[in-house]
Chain A
């Protein structure tokens, strides 16, 4: 994703293949939209499996923002947003596509030929801004706005990853699941009326099974990287390979791609003649959204310290948060049990803190670099609790603020110095 803008060195074929497929797919999307097919623009935590089962193409907001960030388009877009009378210092991660909609040259200058106009803008109301941003985006494109609500977890499990795959009735408050299923049914009915397509529950079952297959490969990959010394790959490869394929989850291509990723990583891990760096490997965890506009940053610390970012949430979420077993009895409820938890385990302490700690331990993490997103008013996920949980367990944490997609305020030199100091003083110095 970041290949054009930054000089990150990626070594996996799976990463290149994901980018290639994505571009091809996007071309096909454009042709379908131009031929009059419906197209949904959705937020990342929306139940995209419904569209997959109905063969309605969709693009995911955060992933599209990541592409715009990697193509260094965001500076231009936020300037256009400002010219249109909006603030350019709010919600950049979620508002990138809205900002892009003000670009009169989007068709020629936008990433991959720009974003086609969607039929429907779909989001969950997980913060006070999301609905408004999607509403404005929908208005710009002449699309419908469709929103799904977000209820609050009353249960506070310290081990959600042990419950979510089979015991979701125990994990979630049942009325939250009831509500989500009710919302899904209403959404399906709306889609059927809007698009003239029929929702087939058996197709959703197939989609859910393929997702389990795909995420199962991510589990094996995550576990392999956790065990292998030195790490066969870093987040520069895994973030891109996984995030792009997650966009296609529920397709056979995505499941096959996940298997290919695993096999490639395994082959690297098993290479008999791989010459390990004689120095000790320091294993770093990246907490937060991807740094889309400067992927090469992740590799800045390998040569000098043999410090490598081996963990990001993108692969680990695939492993721990997506699989839902015994779905056949009620695939809608199983789907509800997948998407309502996204906000809980990412932004709600102690769900998130305990998971990060578990992952830090199983991945042999020596230090955590934690990016709290700039200008997101919901960038409040209990980071102090997360830091305390990790630090109390002996894992040092560096927390800083930056924007994942807007490079205007990013100072790579300063940030590199900051991380270097952290590695020297807390990671190496702490050993």
Chain B
């Protein structure tokens, strides 16, 4: 499994993959064209507002050779990914992180990174820390916070205006939302092939389709996914035991690849780099800020912000919706809020007869050693499939 030849040979997919594998292309292209780019950390930094302000967006990704700055400034309780992100932002390499960065407090990690980088910039002004801002979302599902979130987005729009020198007009925002609508319809069509009884998209391919949005021009992205939506139905069936992935954000294929190589096909996930970004359309019948809040705030509960009961219900519904035969819980060390969900989720899965495996305190870059493979094999046996690893 992983990324198959049919996908690699598809021109639209190949272009998505190129950007996904090398996010610096987008940053360089924008720089050459004089387009300012806003780096994103955390879920909930709205592309629509960034586009409406005449800029482009790009996810800041973990990676690189090491994180010496994080070792100096961050405590042990940051995830490894968080440490790489810190270095990406504070290190000044503009091929990894642009000169403007927006965080969303969609999870503690992003919030804390923002605090630290803000303080680093304040206390050591000589460092090449970009301009920073935070979108202060509150994700409790109550009306009070919908109102707060609308104001938070307006504040963010104001910050974007000061960065771009261009007002975020309702017209521009409506246009950006319409662009998302195109992306949403195309990606939904593609993802329906993933959850079909005979899936025609692997988890790795899906992750590329979803993640490429954050590594390239958004209009070009819409064109490519629209093309791809026409092609995927003719791709061969992606064989394997259908697995639902619950856990830490995966912004590269380091974990999905070995899982699928073991004979699974990842048919859904609940992390922020997965299908959550295309779960809920942005309504065009609402005032644009209200529509953004509706879409971003009311998606399925994330591991960081959802309560145990909500998360348990969301998991069982997702398993049913995707037709998964098993669940893999996979959490990085210090990204462990989901561990409080797991006992209830395990009980619910057991009641449904869905086997699961739990891998916590995982390293990054991922270590997919014998122990991990053994876990997958056991899961596969319990899910009734053969081991292909």
> Is B truly associated with A?
yes
Complex Cα distance, B360 from A128, in Å, reads 16
Contacts of A179 in B (CB 8 A): 144, 148
A149 near B77 with CB under 8 A, answer no
Contacts of A349 in B (CB 8 A): 115-116, 119
Select which of A128, A152, A380 is within 8 A of B305 by beta carbon. A128
A90 near B136 with CB under 8 A, answer no
A348 near B339 with CB under 8 A, answer no
- Interface hits, B289-303 → A, CB 8 Å: 303
Contacts of B279 in A (CB 8 A): none
A86 near B140 with CB under 8 A, answer no
The 8 A CB mask of A46-79 against B (1 = contact, 0 = none) is 0000000000000000000000000000000000
A135 near B343 with CB under 8 A, answer no
A377 near B115 with CB under 8 A, answer no
A128 near B304 with CB under 8 A, answer yes
A87 near B336 with CB under 8 A, answer yes
Complex Cα distance, B116 from A348, in Å, reads 8
Total contacts A to B, CB within 8 angstroms? 104
B305 near A379 with CB under 8 A, answer no
A149 near B138 with CB under 8 A, answer yes
B72 near A384 with CB under 8 A, answer yes
**Among B106-114, B183-191, B313-321, B370-378, which stretch is in contact with chain A?**
B106-114
Q: Is A175 an interface residue (CB 8 A)?
A: yes
B199 CB to nearest chain A CB (Å)? 32
Complex Cα distance, B112 from A69, in Å, reads 28
Contacts of A131 in B (CB 8 A): 307
Complex Cα distance, B338 from A86, in Å, reads 11
Complex Cα distance, B77 from A403, in Å, reads 13
Complex Cα distance, B136 from A378, in Å, reads 18
Q: Nearest CB to that of B340 among chain A residues?
A: A132
Q: Is A166 an interface residue (CB 8 A)?
A: no
The 8 A CB mask of B105-131 against A (1 = contact, 0 = none) is 101100110111011001100000000
Complex Cα distance, B140 from A429, in Å, reads 52
Contacts of A133 in B (CB 8 A): 340
Q: Is B74 an interface residue (CB 8 A)?
A: yes
Contacts of A86 in B (CB 8 A): 339-340, 343
B70 CB to nearest chain A CB (Å)? 10
Q: Is B15 an interface residue (CB 8 A)?
A: no
Contacts of A401 in B (CB 8 A): 76
Complex Cα distance, B122 from A385, in Å, reads 11
B77 near A135 with CB under 8 A, answer no
Q: Is A376 an interface residue (CB 8 A)?
A: yes
Q: Nearest CB to that of A373 among chain B residues?
A: B77
Q: Is A125 an interface residue (CB 8 A)?
A: yes
B105 near A152 with CB under 8 A, answer yes
The 8 A CB mask of A141-169 against B (1 = contact, 0 = none) is 00001010101101010000000000000
Select which of A85, A377, A384 is within 8 A of B74 by beta carbon. A384
Select which of B75, B119, B145, B337 is within 8 A of A129 by beta carbon. B337
Query: B75, B118, B138, B343: which has the most chain A beta carbons within 10 Å?
Result: B75
B111 near A382 with CB under 8 A, answer no
Q: Nearest CB to that of A125 among chain B residues?
A: B140
A208 CB to nearest chain B CB (Å)? 24
Complex Cα distance, B111 from A154, in Å, reads 12
Select which of A85, A135, A380 is within 8 A of B75 by beta carbon. A380
The 8 A CB mask of B68-110 against A (1 = contact, 0 = none) is 0000111111100000000000000000000000000101100
Select which of A175, A377, A384 is within 8 A of B73 by beta carbon. A384
A87 near B307 with CB under 8 A, answer no
Q: Nearest CB to that of B133 among chain A residues?
A: A154
Select which of A84, A135, A379 is within 8 A of B309 by beta carbon. A135
B384 CB to nearest chain A CB (Å)? 24
Q: Is B341 an interface residue (CB 8 A)?
A: yes
Complex Cα distance, B116 from A132, in Å, reads 25
The 8 A CB mask of B231-263 against A (1 = contact, 0 = none) is 000000000000000000000000000000000
Q: Is B151 an interface residue (CB 8 A)?
A: yes
Query: A86, A87, A145, A156: which has the most chain B beta carbons within 10 Å?
Result: A87
Q: Is A325 an interface residue (CB 8 A)?
A: no
The 8 A CB mask of A356-380 against B (1 = contact, 0 = none) is 0000000000000000100011111
A residues whose Cβ falls under 8 Å from a Cβ of B = 84-87, 90, 125, 127-129, 131-133, 135-136, 145, 147, 149, 151-152, 154, 156, 175, 179, 182-183, 186, 348-350, 372, 376-380, 382-385, 388, 401
> Can you report 12 A-B residue pairs in the complex whose CB atoms are below 8 A from each other?
A128-B303, A132-B340, A152-B134, A156-B122, A183-B144, A349-B116, A350-B123, A372-B75, A377-B77, A379-B77, A384-B73, A385-B119
Q: Knowing that A86-B343, A379-B77 are A-B contacts, what are 9 other residue pairs whose CB atoms are under 8 Å apart, sorted by A's residue number? A: A85-B346, A125-B140, A135-B309, A136-B340, A186-B144, A377-B335, A378-B112, A380-B78, A380-B112
